[in-house]
Homo-oligomer: A and B are copies of this chain.
Amino acid sequence: MDRSIQDIARLVGTTSRTLRHYDRLGLLPPSRVGSNGYRYYDDGALVRLQRILLLRDLGLGLPAIADVLDREAEPARALHRHLELLRQEQERLARQIASVSLTIRQLEGGEQLMAENMFNGFDHTQYKDEVEQRWGKEAYVSGDRWWTGMSDTERAGWKARTAQLGADWTSAAEQGVAADSAEAQELARRHCEWLAGVPGLPSSGSGSSDNGPSKEYVTGLGDMYVADDRFGANYGGRKGAELVRDALKLFADRNL
């Protein structure tokens, strides 16, 4: 009545290695072990194996399967939890697919679309004159190289990260957060951190630990946000831009 490990494996369409694996995990011990060490499985073990494989096909992990089978935990509850996970995973995938599709469209859209994207995110070249005036030609050149040197893909990613910051600023502005509030100051900190990710900006300190943008740069940037509607649009309109400017100035005064 007992069957060898291979017999069982072929019967259910798996491998002997898997069965040994399950044995070691304690998930499916053989019903009998010969004096030679051979594993033998009876019908009971076979049934258990079927259950295991069924649950596995449903996507449950081996520990979860052991839980359901051994502790008689109500399968429905476990499956409900599992379903939640699957749904989340599916959503994550859907978002990823959307991102990839968007990126592809942008890539294939050519230069035109690129320009629009650049403007949408943070078009450094658009402000060539201002940047040059304030920070000199080198700052502009290196910044421009950085930006134009990016592929469309990268620009899209930069845009995405920037968008999160913009969204946070916007919601803060809508909630009437004060510029000197902890929340706004935290946003300001993130904003500076984000700025530091842009190479070629004038740095305040030469030390490695403090290399954010300079105080002047940050305050000037805030002014620019207010002065230029295109910037403000990314931060919740005029009110948002003013919040950004004020919060940045406070933050710069205090920390830079």
| Chain B residues within 8 Å of A89, by CB | 93
Distance from A137 Cβ to chain B, minimum over Cβ atoms (Å): 8
Output the nearest chain B residue to A154 by Cβ-Cβ distance: B51
Contacting pair A50 B11 (CB below 8 A): no
User: Beta-carbon contacts of A1-22 to B below 8 Å, as 1s and 0s?
Assistant: 0111001001111000000000
User: Beta-carbon contacts of A55-91 to B below 8 Å, as 1s and 0s?
Assistant: 1011100000000000000011001101100110110
Contacting pair A96 B59 (CB below 8 A): yes
A142 to B44 alpha-carbon distance, docked (Å): 11
Stretch at the interface among A145-153, A170-178, A179-187: A145-153
A232 to B93 alpha-carbon distance, docked (Å): 41
Distance from A149 Cβ to chain B, minimum over Cβ atoms (Å): 7
| Chain B residues within 8 Å of A87, by CB | 97
A11-B127, A100-B58, A133-B13 known; A208+B46 contact, CB < 8 A: no
Contacting pair A86 B76 (CB below 8 A): no
A47-B146, A75-B107, A75-B113 known; A12+B126 contact, CB < 8 A: yes
A130 to B12 alpha-carbon distance, docked (Å): 10
A150 to B228 alpha-carbon distance, docked (Å): 59
| Chain B residues within 8 Å of A118, by CB | 50, 54
> Which residues of A are at the interface with B, using a C-beta cutoff of 8 A?
2-4, 7, 10-13, 42-43, 46-47, 50-51, 53-55, 57-59, 75-76, 79-80, 82-83, 86-87, 89-90, 93-94, 96-97, 99-101, 103-104, 107-108, 113-114, 117-118, 122-123, 126-130, 133, 136-137, 140, 142, 146, 149-154, 156-158, 160, 193, 196-197, 199-200, 208-209, 211, 227-228
